[in-house]
A and B are shown apart, each in its own frame.
Chain A
Amino acid sequence: MTLSHSIDRGPLFFRDRDWHPPAYTPGYKTSMTRAPHRALVALGSTLSEETGPAFGHDMLGELDNNLIVNFTGQPAIGERIIMHGRVLDENGRGVPNVLVEIWQANAGGRYRHKKDGYLAPLDPNFGGCGRTVTAQDGSYEFLTVRPGAYPWPNHVNNWRPMHIHVSIFGTGFGQRLITQMYFEGDPLIARCPIVNTIGQDRAIQALVAPLDMNRAIPMDCLAYKFDIVLRGRRQSFFENRKEGM
């Protein structure tokens, strides 16, 4: 980690908690004992949320964003895809120099994790994690294989849609976000209890990456575009006025 300084300051936009999934979502069983019962104490951001860790491009290895070869150097098996997009804030500005980390199952839906006992085999050449730092315009890209769907013990016959987990930093700790990217056209999306923790269809659609033929490479790989939006910041023009704006 390096201390590349950012001038991005100012209070964060309030989170729209009707847009995000609520904590208690019985269709997703594990949430039932892990959701706070008491109301959140709502205050708005302070300096502790408006500042955050910074990451430099210099910490990245050459293959960190290439999941096809970054585990052993030999190529993983599966559908070759580019996952790319921009990290923006709610004001529509690209957010440069922020860390994007991803992890996923292999093409058969099996994770390289000691707790995953699914019968689909591991791919000896697929680790399943990648990371990158956004460019000046907020853009990022990964090369990977499309993950398979997999079963999970929720209701008897629940299957997760194909998805890639995404972890994003902004310039403030209060912007910290983890989400999942889904793929256009996957019939399992509408059937997934985790997807359906989100109440509004427009919010669910914001997690579905469209096929992007403009970015596909002929005779090489397809592409999906996934833009990520972080909490915006209010202008701090009047921040010295203690009575507020």
Chain B
Amino acid sequence: MQRLDYLKETPSQTAGPYVHIGLTPNKLGNAGIYPADLGESPIRPGARGQEITITGTVRDGAGMILRDALIESWQADAEGIFPGNDPRGPADPNVTGWARIIADFDSGEWTLRTVKPGRVPFHDGRPMAPHISLWIVARGINLGLQTRIYFEDEDNDSCPVLQRIEHRERIGTLIARKTGAQAYRFDIILQGENETVFFDL
């Protein structure tokens, strides 16, 4: 028999407690190496769409707020087009789509200021409800966790991804709650009661 000649993906390891040294050195206080940290905002001034602020925490199975987590977000523009390599064409030039978010070293609260993304098609063309993809790494997390932020003031019932969640009562863990005209709350619970849904995508 011939051998399949695929390579294996490099195995993951935890980002560890000092991930900020490498990925957000300026926010850590190690200024002078890079002029600015990458991913400070997923939008530039003039981005089209509704500006929103999402605030949250990441909590562990004992209810403790993580101070050492790092989150990256990726989203489409207000029309549902991704910047860069979206096969459907160019996105809003003022949306870069990607942000690197760290929690406040003392309170553990994180904040994402962006524009609400538009709908993006699933494989079969049905629209997915507006969402922001998240990738979460930290000490104690061996492989980055994938989840999504959906919005309570959108039609989420027809989203083909949310429909695939068999335990319907868990869908609420993916839905940001409105706390103001343009503000949402999204708390991530890694383990236990009301554990956030994580995906293999």
Contact = CB atoms under 8 A, between A and B. Distances in A.
Given A19-B9, A23-B141, A54-B84, A113 B18 contact: yes
Given A31-B142, A42-B199, A48 B131 contact: yes
Given A1-B38, A38-B197, 14 more contacts: A34-B140, A35-B142, A41-B200, A43-B200, A43-B201, A52-B84, A90-B9, A92-B5, A113-B21, A127-B32, A165-B18, A173-B135, A207-B10, A232-B6
Contacts of A21: 11-13, 142-143
Interface centre among B14, B86, B133 (most CB of A within 10 A): B14
Nearest to B58: A34
A127 B84 contact: no
Given A41-B197, A167-B23, A179-B10, A71 B18 contact: no
Main secondary structure of the interface of B (DSSP, over half): loop
A133 to B, nearest CB: 12
Interface stretch (B46-54, B108-116, B178-186, B187-195): B187-195
Nearest to A55: B38
Give the bracket for the number of chain A residues in contact with chain B: 35 or more
Given A53-B84, A54-B85, A111-B21, A34 B190 contact: yes
A103 B22 contact: yes
Contacts of A43: 161, 164, 199-201
Main secondary structure of the interface of A (DSSP, over half): loop
Interface string A116-134: 1000000000011101000
B25 interface: yes
Contacts of B20: 113
11 contacts: A9-B85, A19-B9, A36-B145, A38-B170, A38-B197, A40-B198, A47-B122, A61-B34, A64-B34, A129-B22, A165-B22
Interface residues of B, number: 85
Given A34-B141, A51-B86, A53-B98, A46 B13 contact: no
Given A176-B72, A230-B10, A34 B21 contact: no
A68 interface: no
A213 interface: no
Interface in A10-37: 11, 13-17, 19-23, 25, 28, 30-37
Nearest to B189: A36
Nearest to B201: A49
B87 A53 contact: no
Contact of A46 (B93, B105, B128): B128
Interface stretch (A76-84, A198-206, A215-223): A198-206
Interface in A142-185: 165, 167-168, 171-174, 176-180
